[in-house]
């Protein structure tokens, strides 16, 4: 089924370094179907934004972050899916002496429900879905340092998605989300407010036979927070960005239920985040427990 292939593409966005929630899509898994994906990505930047100003730091050089994510979607019913994601992330600088970091980062769990669905026959299928997610750090990774893999903030997020599938296999999706971050107690011994953020993402894509492609644009806008600066705790930074990218997916010809994916992402602009370029690839496997 075409939808199955498409569904898996979201795994590629799942662990885009930190400061971004899990981006959902508008496709639903059927009751009892489980899809799992293992994705790998590498991203790097030598330029980052202090506030909105581009900066480089020769005492850090290029910062490279690799992640491996396990991603699982399961159909509880045809209208309610659970989505789980767990990334393992490593980050290191190419210059200077700062210690590299690596650990499991944040475990995310989403409930995604289809609220409305209508088939317009000749003009395609329209759906409205909502997602409610929670993520929590599952290791004691370092949060307040120039090289870190996350902010240690627990997060609740809510997303609304509209999607329209055209009969010939094309689809467009738009979603808006609100990400609420909880305060973090940093190693310096006090609590820091981690700014909340809005997230807007649009995607357009389609598939022919067993091949799929999409392009996306994602904009996160943080609420009031700090800028990167001397003595300023990193988790309190207001992180915003505009990113774009594409994904490709294909099933494998001889192995049943297995597919491969690849993608790239680019940072167009940002605030208090690296101007990172990302390459990713993944393996996708589908399992039906109720058949």
Partner 1 sequence: MKNIYLYIISGIFILLMLACKEDLPEMEKLPILNPVSTDAEAVNWQTVLDLDYHNLISIDPAAEANTPAYQNELSELVTITNARTAEQARKAEYWSAGAVLRWNEIAQELVSKYNVAPRVGQATDPQKPFAHPPFAARAYALLSVAQQDALINTWIYKYEFNRQAPASYAQDIDLLFEISDLPSYPSEHAVVAKVSQEVLSYLFPLEKEYLEELAEEHIESRKWAGVNTQSDNLAGIKVGEVIAGQVINYAKSDRMSEANDPEDRHLIYFDIANQISVPWKCIETPLRKPMVPFYSIVKTWHDSTEVYNTTPPPPPAIGSNEFNEDIKFVRNICDNRTREQWRIADFWADGGGTSTPPGHWNRIAKGLISNESLSEVRAARIFSVMNRAMMDAGILSWWSKYKYYLPRPSQIDEKITIATGIPNFPSYVSGHSTFSASAGTVLSHFFPGERENLKQMYEEAGISRVYGGIHYNFDNLAGREAGIEIGEIAIKEALPNNLN
Task: Please say whether the dihedral angle defined by the alpha carbons of residues 166, 12, 20 and 230, taken in this order, is positive or negative.
Answer: negative
Smallest gap, in angstroms, from Cβ of residue 260 to partner 1? 35
Residue 84 found at the interface with partner 1 (CB under 8 A): no
Work out which of 104, 126, 158, 285 binds partner 1, going by CB under 8 A: 158
Of 231 and 253, CB closest to partner 1? 231
> Can you give the C-alpha Rg of the chain in angstroms?
19
What is the x/- site pattern for partner 1, positions 106-125, by CB under 8 A? Answer: -------x-xx---------
Secondary structure of residue 145 in the 3-state scheme: coil
Smallest gap, in angstroms, from Cβ of residue 235 to partner 1? 13
Residue 187 found at the interface with partner 1 (CB under 8 A): yes
Using CB under 8 A as the binding criterion, the count of chain residues that bind partner 1 stands at 35
- d(CA 35, CA 39) in angstroms, rounded, equals 13
Residue 200 found at the interface with partner 1 (CB under 8 A): no
Residues 24-83 touching partner 1, rule: CB under 8 A, are 58-59
Burial 181-201 (b: 16+ CB within 10 A, else e): beebebeeeeebbbbbbebeb
Specify the long-range contacts of residues 50-59, CB closer than 8 Å, at least 24 apart: 50/227, 50/228, 50/229, 50/272, 51/227, 51/228, 51/271, 51/272, 52/269, 52/270, 52/271, 54/275, 57/96, 57/146, 58/95, 58/96, 59/95, 59/96, 59/98
Residues 206-235 touching partner 1, rule: CB under 8 A, are 223, 229-232
Residue 196 found at the interface with partner 1 (CB under 8 A): yes
Stretch that binds partner 1, among 83-91, 97-105, 245-253, 265-273 (CB under 8 A): 97-105
Residue 194 DSSP label: P
**Residue 213 structure tokens:** 């492609």
Residues 167-186 touching partner 1, rule: CB under 8 A, are 178, 180, 183, 186
Of 230 and 253, CB closest to partner 1? 230
The binding site for partner 1 (CB under 8 A) comprises 58-59, 95-100, 113, 115-116, 130, 132, 140, 142, 144-145, 156, 158, 178, 180, 183, 186-189, 191-193, 196, 223, 229-232
């Amino acid at each position: 089924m075409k939808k199955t292939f498409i569904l898996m593409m979201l795994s590629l966005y799942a662990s885009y370094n930190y400061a971004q929630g899990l981006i959902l899509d508008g496709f639903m898994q059927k009751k009892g179907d489980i899809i799992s994906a293992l994705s790998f990505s590498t991203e790097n930047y030598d330029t980052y934004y202090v506030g909105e100003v581009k900066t480089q730091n020769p005492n850090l050089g290029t910062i490279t972050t690799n992640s491996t994510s396990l991603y699982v979607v399961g159909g509880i019913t045809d209208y309610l899916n659970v989505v789980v994601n767990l990334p393992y992330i490593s980050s290191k600088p190419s210059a200077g002496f700062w210690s590299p970091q690596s650990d499991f980062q944040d475990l995310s769990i989403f409930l995604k429900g289809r609220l409305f669905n209508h088939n317009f026959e000749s003009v395609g299928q329209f759906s409205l879905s909502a997602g409610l997610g929670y993520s929590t750090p599952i290791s004691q990774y370092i949060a307040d340092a120039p090289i870190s893999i996350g902010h240690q903030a627990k997060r609740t997020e809510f997303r609304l998605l509209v999607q329209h599938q055209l009969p010939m296999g094309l689809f467009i999706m738009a979603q808006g989300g609100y990400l609420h971050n909880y305060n973090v107690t940093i190693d310096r011994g006090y609590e820091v407010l981690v700014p909340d953020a809005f997230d807007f993402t649009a995607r357009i894509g389609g598939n022919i036979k067993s091949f799929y492609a999409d392009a996306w644009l994602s904009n996160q806008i943080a609420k009031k927070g700090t800028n990167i600066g001397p003595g300023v705790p990193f988790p309190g930074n207001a992180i915003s960005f505009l990113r774009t990218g594409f994904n490709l997916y294909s099933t494998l010809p001889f192995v049943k239920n297995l597919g491969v994916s690849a993608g790239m992402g680019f940072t167009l602009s940002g605030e208090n985040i690296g101007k990172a370029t990302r390459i990713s690839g993944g393996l996708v496997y589908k399992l039906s427990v109720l058949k």
